[in-house]
Amino acid sequence: MAKIELKNLIKTFGSTDVIRGVDLTINAGELMVFVGPSGCGKSTLLRLICGLEDITSGELLFDGVSMNDKVPSERGIAMVFQSYALYPHMSVYKNMAFGLKLANVSPQEMKNRVLEAAKMLQIDHLLERLPKQLSGGQRQRVAIGRAIVRDPRVFLFDEPLSNLDASLRVDTRLEIAKLHHKMKDTTMVYVTHDQVEAMTLADRICVLRDGNIEQVGTPEELYSHPKSLFVAGFIGSPKMNFLTGDIAEKHHCHTLGIRPEHLVIDHLDGIWSGEVVHTENLGADFFVFLDLGIKEPLVVRLDGQQRIPLGTQVNVRPLEEHLHRFDNNGLPITLTSNREKI
């Protein structure tokens, strides 16, 4: 169990500020996901926590103890790398045991721990193989297993699913979720650029942008109450529709946001109307792209049974309680907002 506290953490490389004063508390046993576009500083933040980068200023605490001057091996952490970082010349067993050999673990204990972790991840039949004889998913399991055997206080994942193909990514995501439920005492920090991974795995999500925290909260909070235009656009797929100009002005805001699933086709009361210019059929969902005469088409989600042919003129009505209004700084307007009723 470790509660991680980041206090005004700053990291600069030369004259470039990468992390610009981050304050964050990660609760013990929680799975926190750092998410953001590339270059937002999420990987750097993770590397500061594990000690692969030195902290320029600010403080990093594990359970109230400063970690600023502790080398990585003294922090009680384990990390899963994007590239897996398995040693190609060592068998799976050796890879998993390599880090343990120095940690004052008896050979028998070491063997037990490796076997236990291998069973948990269903790689116990692969222990004698070399990494090159494994599939991508199996390699990822070995990398996770290598981290598990160290029995860390803090478990770090640096984009662990990026090198896997789409279906394997979903499977491994589930594995990691299961792992989190099993290892209740271990605090996990997970870095990804994929908001779907963040939404599905996280207890809480921390959205980063340009070295600053945009918002921290549960997936539901971020989805329903984004505290900025950036978070509103980043979380959710397909992304939220943003309307500006006259349409927004009618709702007394600079930018009006509405998610595709909060638009209803309504030929009588539909306040916006446009021509269907494109459709996407995903089986369960059917997305319609409407041309409202503004720059971006308006995306509307229908359930998979409905079909609307191209070129049809359609009227849509937004669900008022799900409208997001933002001022010209991209901050939400909350005073008279209907969102407050939820």
- Site for other proteins, residues 305 to 334, rule: CB under 8 A: none
Contact 265, 298 (CB under 8 A): no
Q: Which stretch binds other proteins (CB under 8 A): 60-68, 98-106, 174-182, 211-219?
A: 98-106
* Contacts with 238 (C-beta within 8 Å, 6 or more apart), sequence order: 260, 287, 299, 301
Among 69, 89, 125, 310, binds other proteins (CB under 8 A): 89
* Contacts with 317 (C-beta within 8 Å, 6 or more apart), sequence order: 263, 264, 265, 266, 269, 270, 271, 272
Number of residues that bind other proteins (CB under 8 A): 25
Binding of other proteins by 14 (CB under 8 A): no
- Tell how strand 65-66 and strand 77-80 pair up: unpaired
Contact 327, 336 (CB under 8 A): no
- Rounded least distance, CB 29 to other proteins, Å: 21
- Rounded least distance, CB 263 to other proteins, Å: 45
Binding of other proteins by 99 (CB under 8 A): yes
CA distance linking residue 195 with residue 33, whole number of Å: 10
- Site for other proteins, residues 141 to 200, rule: CB under 8 A: 150
Q: What does each C-alpha distance from 288 to 60, 170, 235, 261, 280 come to in angstroms?
A: 47, 26, 20, 11, 7
Binding of other proteins by 85 (CB under 8 A): yes
Binding of other proteins by 130 (CB under 8 A): yes
| Residue 36 or 51 with smaller CB distance to other proteins | 51
- Site for other proteins, residues 35 to 54, rule: CB under 8 A: 50-52
Name the DSSP letter for residue 215: E
CA distance linking residue 129 with residue 131, whole number of Å: 7
- Rounded least distance, CB 78 to other proteins, Å: 7
Binding of other proteins by 98 (CB under 8 A): yes
Q: Which residues bind other proteins (CB under 8 A)?
A: 50-52, 71-74, 77-79, 81-85, 87-89, 98-100, 102-103, 130, 150
